[in-house]
Amino acid sequence: MAETQAIRDTAFDACSLMAMRYRQVRDATEFLCGPLANEDFGVQTMPDVSPAKWHIAHTTWFFETFLLNRFVAGYRLYRPEFDHLFNSYYVTHGEPFLRPHRGFLSRPTVAEVYAYRAAVDEAMLELIDRCDDQIRSRIQPLITLGLHHEQQHQELLLTDLKHAFSHNPLRPAYREDLPSVGHHDVGEAGWSEFDGGLYDIGADLDIDGFAYDNEQPRHRVWLEDFALADRPVSNADYLAFIDDGGYREPRWWLSEGWATVKAEGWQAPLYWERRDGEWWQFTLGGMRPVDPSAPVCHVSQFEADAYASWASRRLPTEAEWEVAAQAAAVRTKPLQDGANLREAGFLQPMATADDHGLRQLYGDVWEWTASSYTAYPGFRIPDGPVGEYNGKFMSGQMVLRGGSCVTPGDHIRTSYRNFFYPKDRWQFSGIRLAEDR
C-alpha cells in the first residue's frame, strides 16, 4: 500500500517536473518575442529564414502532432489547416507548406497563433497531469524531444530576426538596452595539447540524460596528437586576415569557397559594414563598432577554412573538439536558465582567464569543424516521422560545436552536433584553430 503510494508520488513528482519544465521552455519562447512589434513576426528575408510567427506556431504544431494527436483520445486538431502550414519538413507526415513562402502567411495573425499556443499548452498540461506510468514512459521522451526542439527554435528565432532586421535600411534593434562592452587586448592565443589515442565520443544517455539521435551511439575514435587554440579567433585576428588581402587571394580558399567569394562579393563577415573607414557590425542591439576583442562571428566555413590556411593552421575535427571539451572536465555547462540567453545575442569580449585552459568553448560562437555531418558508426534512424529529425540532412553540411550566445544555456552539450552548409553565415558561427603535434 505504502509502496503504491510511493510509486504514485514518484509519478506525481515526475509529472510535476515535466509540467514545470514544459511551462519554463514554452514561456521562454514567448519572453524572447517580448520586444517584437506585431509586424516583426512575419518577415522572411531568405528561404533559410523563418518568420518569428512561424517559429512559435511550428513548435506548437510539434506538440499537437506528435503528442496530443497521438495520445489524447478523441483529440480534434485545433485547426486542421495548421497541420499543413506549420509542418516544417516531415514529408512522411504530409506535404509541408513551401518553405520559401512562409513569409506570405499574414494569416493566421499573431494573436491567432498565440491563441493556438495557449490551447495546445492547456491540452498538453492536462495530458501531462493525467498521465500514468505507462503513458508517461511513452510521452516523456517525446515531450523532452519537443522541448529541445523548441529550444533550437528559440535560437533560430533570434538568428532569423537578426537577418530580417539587417535587410531593413533603418537597421532596427531587437533590444535597445544591450550594453556596449569595453574593449581590451586579448593577446595571442595559446595552445592546449592533447595526446593521440583511442577515445570515446558521442552522447552517453546514462550521463547526459538526453541527446539527439545524431549524437549517438557513443563510439571509439582514433586520434593522433593535436593541439587546440585556447580561445576563438578574435575580430582583431580576423581583421589582420582581411587587411592582408584574405578576400582577394584565391590560394587560401577551397575551390567552392573562392567561387562563393566571387559570386557573393564577400569582403568581410556577414553584417559588417564599412562606414567612413571604420568597420561596424549589425547586432541585435543595432549598429555597433566592431569590437576587436570579441570572437569573430557570422563567418562561413569557407571563411573559417581560408582563415586557417592563411594562419598556417587548420580547423579541428569534431572528434578532436569533443575530446578536448571532455578533457576540460565539463560535459555540459549550462550558462543560464531558460530563455535568458546571454545578453540575447550580444557577443562578449574574450575572457582573460579560465579554469580549464580552453576559453569560451561554450556559449559564444558555434565553432566550425573540419568534419562533414555524417552518421556515427552504428547510427540508426528512429522509426516514424521523428526519424526525419536529423538523419536525412546528412549530406553536404559541416559540423559546428559548442553553442553560441543565442543558444539556451541548458541546451548546450559537449556531444551536441550542429550542422550547416559551408557557405552559411547567418548563424552565430566562428572559428577555433587546431594543429597537428
Distance between CA atoms of 236 and 243, rounded to whole angstroms?
10
The CB-of-432 to its own copies minimum distance in angstroms stands at 17
Residue type, 73: A
365 conformational bin, left if phi > 0, alpha if psi -120 to 50, beta if neither? beta
Is 312 among the residues that bind its own copies (CB under 8 A)? Answer: no
Q: Smallest distance, Å, CB 53 to its own copies?
A: 8
What is the spatial distance between Cα 284 and Cα 160, in angstroms, rounded to a whole number? Answer: 11
Residue 97 as a binder of its own copies (CB under 8 A): the answer is yes
Residue type, 37: A
Burial of 119 from C-beta contacts in 10 A (0-12 / 13-18 / 19+): middle
**What 8-state DSSP symbol labels residue 59?**
H
DSSP state of 371: E
Residue 234 or 283 with smaller CB distance to its own copies: 283
Measured between alpha carbons, how far is 197 from 222 in angstroms, rounded to an integer? 6
Site size toward its own copies, by CB under 8 A: 64
Is 57 near its own copies (CB under 8 A)? no
Torsion of CA 56, 300, 267, 169, to 10 degrees: 0
56 near its own copies, judged by CB under 8 A: no
Within 366-425, the residues that bind its own copies by CB under 8 A are 370-372, 374-375, 377-378, 392-396, 422
DSSP secondary structure letter of residue 68: I
Interaction of residue 239 with its own copies, rule CB under 8 A: no
CB 53 within 8 A of CB 66: no
Q: Is the Cβ of residue 307 or residue 362 nearer to its own copies in the bound state?
A: 307
CB 66 within 8 A of CB 72: no
Q: Which of 29, 63, 108, 321 binds its own copies (CB under 8 A)?
A: 108
134 is an interface residue for its own copies by CB under 8 A: no
What span, in angstroms and rounded, lies between the C-alpha atoms of 64 and 58? 10
Note whether 2 binds its own copies by CB under 8 A.
no
Q: How far is the CB of 108 from its own copies (least distance, A)?
A: 7
User: Least CB distance from residue 411 to its own copies, whole Å?
Assistant: 23
Binding of its own copies at residue 431 (CB under 8 A)?
A: no
Q: Which long-range contacts (CB under 8 A, 24 or more apart) does 188-191 make?
A: 189/229, 189/230, 189/231, 189/233, 189/237, 189/433, 190/229, 190/230, 190/231, 191/227, 191/228, 191/229, 191/230, 191/435
The angle at the Cα of 351, spanning 350 to 352, to the nearest 5 degrees, equals 110
Amino acid at 267: Q
- Residues facing 227 on adjacent strands: 193, 435
- Phi and psi at residue 435, in whole multiples of 5°? -155, 160
Query: Which region, judged by CB under 8 A, interacts with its own copies, from 14-22, 69-77, 249-257, 280-288?
Result: 249-257
In the bound state with its own copies, the residue whose beta carbon lies nearer, of 76 and 107, is 107
Cβ nearer to its own copies, comparing 219 with 356: 219
Residue 249 C-beta: closest distance to its own copies, Å: 9
Whichever of 23 and 99 has its CB closer to its own copies, that residue is: 99
Residue 110 binds to its own copies (criterion: CB under 8 A): yes
Q: Shortest Cβ distance from residue 168 to its own copies (Å)?
A: 6
Determine the interface stretch with its own copies among 119-127, 207-215, 247-255, 266-274 (rule: CB under 8 A). 247-255
- Identified binder of its own copies from the candidate list 3, 39, 206, 355, rule CB under 8 A: 39
CB of 391 to its own copies, least distance (A): 8
Cβ proximity to its own copies: between 12 and 104 the closer is 104
Binding part of the chain for its own copies, among 122-130, 269-277, 365-373, 410-418 by CB under 8 A, reads 365-373
**Contacts with its own copies, residue ranges (CB under 8 A):** 37-45, 81, 84-85, 89, 91-92, 97, 101, 103-110, 164-165, 167-170, 172, 198, 219-224, 250-251, 253-258, 302, 305, 314, 370-372, 374-375, 377-378, 392-396, 422, 436
